[in-house]
Amino acid sequence: MKSTIRNFLLFLLLLTAISPVFFSRCANIGVVEGGPRDTAAPKILRTVPANEKTNFNASSFTLFFDEFLQPSGIANEITTSPPLKKKVKATLRGKILDVEWTDTLKENTTYLFQFGDGLKDLNEGNVQKRFIYVFSTGDYLDSLTLTGKVTSVEDNSPLPDMVVGLYQWNGAVGDSTPLLEKPYYYAITEKNGTFTLKFLKEGKYRLLAFDDENGNFMYDVGLEVGGFVPYSVNPENDDMLQIVTFQPAPSLRLTDQRFFHPQGVRLVFNKRIEKLDIDFIYPKLDSLPRTTFSMERDTVKLWFDEKLDSLKFAITKEDKIDTVKLKTRKNLSFQPEIKPTFGSELAPDKNLKFRSNIPISSLDTAAMFIVKDSLKLLIKDFDFTADGTFTLHFNRRGHGKYRLSMGANAITYLDGTNPKDSLNFIFDILEKDEYGKLDFTVQPGRTDSLVIIIYQGDKPFFRASISDTAHFNFPYLKPGTYSMEAIVDWNGNGRWDPGNFLRNRLPEPMISNSKTVEIKANWDLEFVWEIQSEFIKRPEEFLREENEAPGADADEESGAGETSEEGELEEENEPEEE
């Protein structure tokens, strides 16, 4: 008994000695470090019956995956070609997916089952978009393929993860059926923008590509980036087709309208507006208001000759007419402002140009003067336009710093007021050898209307419309990097136009010159841009010799833009007033 007690006490003593070490080691709990995020789509390990089977006579198939899937919505994502009348049933059992149907299959027909966004892994939601289960009820599979590439019209860059849909041809390019149903066949573009449509049957089809932003596997015109081939395609004859996509053009909407001045109304639109179509209902006006546009032409200001308490007018926006009623507000806060458009440096061949945010009724140059090296220079001439822009002409006295002073009474605004204080602007005129000279020639490969845009850095510097070889001379350019872009202006309206699927109108091509121009001080440079003719095909040249493929929309508006080959210099950044 004593021996037993002694052994028990020795056990307790030993346990007491080792327990601090034991528990201290247990307290050092290791942190489980997470690995890299799973970005791989689920893999199909096996199919029963085997994929690409002929003489298929079952009413179901089973897919075995390497990981668990999200169970919801799989059946809704499955599309079949040819389409089945009744909805396909999908049952998920762990890593196994059973797909079954009740329709009677057609004889000697190849069927494709595609799963859209339905095959998502359980944890990260990675999607297996490219798997196709295919079988034939006959002795062979349809084996035609159709390949191509999807690019952006803006920079010709390849677009990955675009849905490329093939739709059965019904004999009319303007048919809206592809906008109302899912593709008969589809593929997803690779990282380089290429696609391959497989297991196709011979015949005519319509080919579209879209980004499917909302995941419904349908091309939502006006909401999604998309493009199309403007003629029917046949996988037996066609291959390596190019689809150029474009941003959707939203319908014109008036987003804001209000009095901002007792004599001024501001209208804000959701996009650029080329022409304002407006009828004034109340009050009866003796004269139409002065109309000014913002640089982006998405904001319009209407200036009236007298103060108004209210205004009612009808405005036509594309094919819709809206009636607008406005009432002026009390204590409207408006601050007249005049800013130069020439920047802080005035080129030797330019005059002083200013823009006012309110139309000007008169200028008094006697209340203006320019100072250079303590010498006072008088304004010799001026001109101004109805929108508030005015230009001052003066005799220069070489390079250096100048200061322009405008007395408070030098300017009278439309509402009869004057600036509260005198205005002062300081600017420099550099020596001529601090500028570079550019002789620029554009040689189109054919006589088509082009809009040429020159950028200084990332800002537009010059814009002109041409229809043949054109020469432009820039005697005073600031040193820097200049780049060129051309818009193939098919309809001659002086601006870029997007495509229109229902009208079978392709987007107007945009061509970027891969070479930039480096302007250096006191250097003369000649630059010739030869634009290859294959870049400026007419719309009808994209179409096949078939009766069902009309040319581009003949009712398209033309001639609304700036089409002078003299071009227009874009205005520079505006400096701060002194």
CATH of the domain at 71: 2.60.40.1220
- Residue 330: per-residue pLDDT: 85
Q: Is residue 578 part of a domain?
A: no
538 and 521 in a single domain? The answer is yes
Q: Domain boundary residue among 182, 216, 246? A: 246
Which tokens is 326 given?
């406005």
Handedness of CA 516, 521, 523, 524 (dihedral sign): positive
440 and 537 in a single domain? The answer is yes
- Residue 129: per-residue pLDDT: 84
Q: Is residue 8 part of a domain?
A: no
- Residue 182: per-residue pLDDT: 86
SS3 letters for 204-258? Answer: CEEEEEECCCCCCCCCCCCCCCEEECCCCECCCCCCCEEEEEECCCCCCCEEEEE
**Residue 439 DSSP symbol:** E
392 and 441 in a single domain? The answer is no
Query: For residue 35, how many C-alpha atoms fall within 13 Å in the half-sphere facing its CB?
Result: 2
- Residue 83: per-residue pLDDT: 87
B/e letters for 194-204, b = 16+ CB within 10 Å, e = fewer, are bbebbbbbeeb
Q: Is residue 550 part of a domain?
A: no
Residue indicated by tokens 């001659």: 492
CATH number at residue 300: 2.60.40
Residues of the chain with pLDDT under 50: 2, 5, 8-10, 12-15, 17-32, 544-565, 572-578
Q: Is residue 321 part of a domain?
A: yes
Bond preceding residue 235 cis, omega within 30 of 0 = no
Q: Domain boundary residue among 212, 246, 280? A: 246
Total number of domains constituting the chain = 5
Handedness of CA 359, 364, 367, 372 (dihedral sign): positive
355 and 265 in a single domain? The answer is no
DSSP string, 4-27: HHHHHHHHHHHHHHHHHHHHHHHH
According to DSSP, the β-strands at 459-466 and 450-456 are: antiparallel
174 and 283 in a single domain? The answer is no
Q: Is residue 236 part of a domain?
A: yes
For the chain, give the longest Cα–Cα distance.
Answer: 129
SS3 letters for 116-161? Answer: CCCCEECCCCCECCCCEEEEECCCCCCCEEEEEEEEECCCCCECCC
Q: Is residue 18 part of a domain?
A: no
Q: Are 109 and 82 in contact (CB under 8 A)?
A: yes
Q: 285 Cβ partners below 8 Å, 6+ apart? A: 304
57 and 154 in a single domain? The answer is no
For residue 3, give the 3-state DSSP assignment. Answer: helix
85 and 212 in a single domain? The answer is no
Q: Domain boundary residue among 402, 430, 458? A: 430
- Residue 567: per-residue pLDDT: 60
239 and 258 in a single domain? The answer is no
Q: 374 Cβ partners below 8 Å, 6+ apart? A: none
Q: Is residue 189 part of a domain?
A: yes
563 and 457 in a single domain? The answer is yes
B/e letters for 514-536, b = 16+ CB within 10 Å, e = fewer, are eeebebeeeeebebebebeeebb
419 and 454 in a single domain? The answer is no
226 and 166 in a single domain? The answer is yes
Query: For residue 43, how many C-alpha atoms fall within 13 Å in the half-sphere facing its CB?
Result: 5
Q: Is residue 7 part of a domain?
A: no
> Which residue range forms the structural domain that includes residue 300?
254-327
68 and 114 in a single domain? The answer is yes
